[in-house]
Structure 1
């Protein structure tokens, strides 16, 4: 099955920077840093010109400015990038039968069977040109028999280019590349490989899979398969309805506003934690309220992609205020986040300092270790239990203590 597929990986080049350059042409060709603009800020993204100075994502802005004093610093704007991301999604949606939006700037497309009619490389080349023409954004793609090889190929194609890895040439293509080109080989795993003297994918290809599994456990087996160009992961149809939600019904219907507000804040806070735990962002917030007469009302609002409490909770509370009728008893309230995509860390880095991001990381760590309600806002203490469906496991969460899944 694997060798009959035609899988495309498309990636918008230095996406945040490219968006800013469309808005201000003076940034073209200059070293550009996107992120928090103060000395306590962090680099969320940077242009290729800035990278030549050794600057990279997640670097403190102060250090980046020292490395490249002439760099132009732009505060990130999630709203603008969300809009551009949606524009690209619309073009892809109109052009192909099956696509997966992996993150705000990254897509997988399954063109299996399309080669009988058009020729896959021709079709995706025309799609790439259409995206560039209609959105103005540079985009690269890799085409191969599976997701892993296509993603690695896109990295080799950049900037603003394309690569087709012909069937049967996956292993020789991957062979000379460094092992950290394999998706899921992060900094820690890469260091472990280097300590073992393994620098190139070729070395992994020549090792028995059992040895990789022995050294790196279950992950070792997966890394070995990816190194050998084996990946049967399907492209999963992207749907804007993909969501995570939670509801709370009351034993006794209530008009206690303070109680309602506390419970809604706790529900939203817990749900946002689930987003961050699953490395997801949401672009649509929905609030639902049911009164004692069973009349049910919902209202939703599109937002810039986010997984931050201080960005999402005010939207939830605003929707509650719009829907709440003070004279009626409330039976149930619910919160839902939809239009989910992968990613989180970079978008969070638009905030002006590390304090708030570090706070979220610390709170999330405590919740992972001691349970979802180990750390919470004082306003949410009213909520004694919060039911939710977890889309990242497809099942209700386990009882405390809660561990990272």
Structure 2
């Protein structure tokens, strides 16, 4: 059996625990301006329809009495580490899935901790103890994706165990949107086909699923039949590193967007070098004022972590992108840390566009990065700054997310916003 633990409204619950004045009140954690988004919210706020990733202006409208806090992300990280450490007291096979959730292989643990329900109660009690009073919800099932679904069944502060003999009945009655990875658009596509439950989706063959939904269709076919061969990964390697921010004003100013890309490249490159990673794929993310989002990627023959190179590729991707609407958000990331380059280069991209890296240029950039990293480590993050960033306004917006792909990334301090011209 696999156990999935999910903290209850983690960030908001921490704020309520640390500040007694917030207890019992609707609390929203996220960017304080109307341009921000909701990072998470308390259950009192959810009763008014507020939810994660909702624009703050809408959240304020739904729940004007809510207390809005920017969040103490260092505090969240400290508690997350305490939670993950405590889980290792029960099993060596623990996989953090994000800052507030984790999987655990519970196979054979009944010899040490008794029946599964007693083990789950002990886990909940231990988490409550090490966090100083936070609750979590725990689910157990034969495979990972079902365990994740089960942890949500009796939230908050709940427990749900799905025994193997009940998997089929449980799945068939489940709405398709409950399957992890099935988003709103896919739910709508399925509903347009008259499919609302997993039981109805089971009538499709794997070939039909793959024709309809691509590679994900093959995975989805396995999921709807209760199959998931993923094991608990105790030492997952990072898959990506990225940074993004939402602006105080929508913009088409490409010079400003390039300066933001430099800020992101600096943060991403610094983190990659700190952890000893290099990646082959650079990805640009742009969200427009109508909330339509596009991503563009370029894969190189050699892995990189030099700030200037990440920035250069990001700018090339930006230059190739048209702006049908003003830009609301821009992000930049690096991935492909250990995969060989296998991208097919089309005319105008990759090798044809001069993407072969000059080893001498890369060596100079890495030498410069090493010097800057050393100075910042010794004198602080703001000790030295690249010239391109001198004119970049620093005003508070939505929290910037820096994600290392291991599921333990947390929201960082607010990124730069655009100064009103």
TM-score, normalised relative to structure 1:
0.64
Once structures 1 and 2 are overlaid, which stretch shifts more, 50-59 or 158-167? 50-59
Does the CA contact (< 8 Å) of 2:241 and 2:335 recur in 1? no
What corresponds to 1:390 in structure 2? 336
> CA deviation digits over 1:196-225, x for unaligned, max 9?
111112211344434323322332221122
What corresponds to 1:335 in structure 2? 273
Shift in Å, 1:172: 1.0
For the pair 1:126 / 2:126, whether they are aligned, the reply is: no
Q: Residues 174 and 18 (structure 1 numbering): CA distance in 2 closer, same or farther, change over 3 Å?
A: same
What corresponds to 2:251 in structure 1? none
What corresponds to 1:365 in structure 2? 295
Gaps of 5+ in 2: 245-260, 278-284, 301-308, 317-333, 351-421
What corresponds to 1:223 in structure 2? 220
Q: Residues 156 and 232 (structure 1 numbering): CA distance in 2 closer, same or farther, change over 3 Å?
A: same
User: 2:299 & 2:268 partners in 1: Cα distance?
Assistant: 29
| Corresponding residue pairs, total | 295
Shift in Å, 1:312: 8.9
Gaps of 5+ in 1: 1-5, 245-273, 280-307, 320-333, 340-354, 378-387
After TM superposition, list the pairs within 5 Å mapping 1:2-401 onto structure 2. Answer: 6-117=1-112, 118-135=114-131, 136-238=133-235, 242=237, 274-276=240-242, 310=263, 313=266, 335-337=273-275, 365-368=295-298, 373-376=312-315, 390-391=336-337, 394-395=339-340, 398=343, 401=349
Q: Residues 315 and 162 (structure 1 numbering): CA distance in 2 closer, same or farther, change over 3 Å?
A: same
Shift in Å, 1:376: 4.7
> CA deviation digits over 1:295-337, x for unaligned, max 9?
xxxxxxxxxxxxx9858947987x9xxxxxxxxxxxxxx8133
User: 2:121 & 2:173 partners in 1: Cα distance?
Assistant: 26
TM-score, normalised relative to structure 2:
0.62
User: 2:141 & 2:163 partners in 1: Cα distance?
Assistant: 6
What corresponds to 1:297 in structure 2? none
Shift in Å, 1:137: 1.4
Shift in Å, 1:228: 1.9
What corresponds to 1:267 in structure 2? none
What corresponds to 1:300 in structure 2? none
User: 2:34 & 2:121 partners in 1: Cα distance?
Assistant: 42
Over the aligned positions, Cα root-mean-square deviation in angstroms equals 3.6
Does the CA contact (< 8 Å) of 1:243 and 1:336 recur in 2? no
Shift in Å, 1:171: 1.5
User: 2:344 & 2:161 partners in 1: Cα distance?
Assistant: 47
Report the 3-state secondary structure (helix = DSSP H, G, I; strand = E; otherwise coil) of the residue aligned with 1:374.
Answer: helix
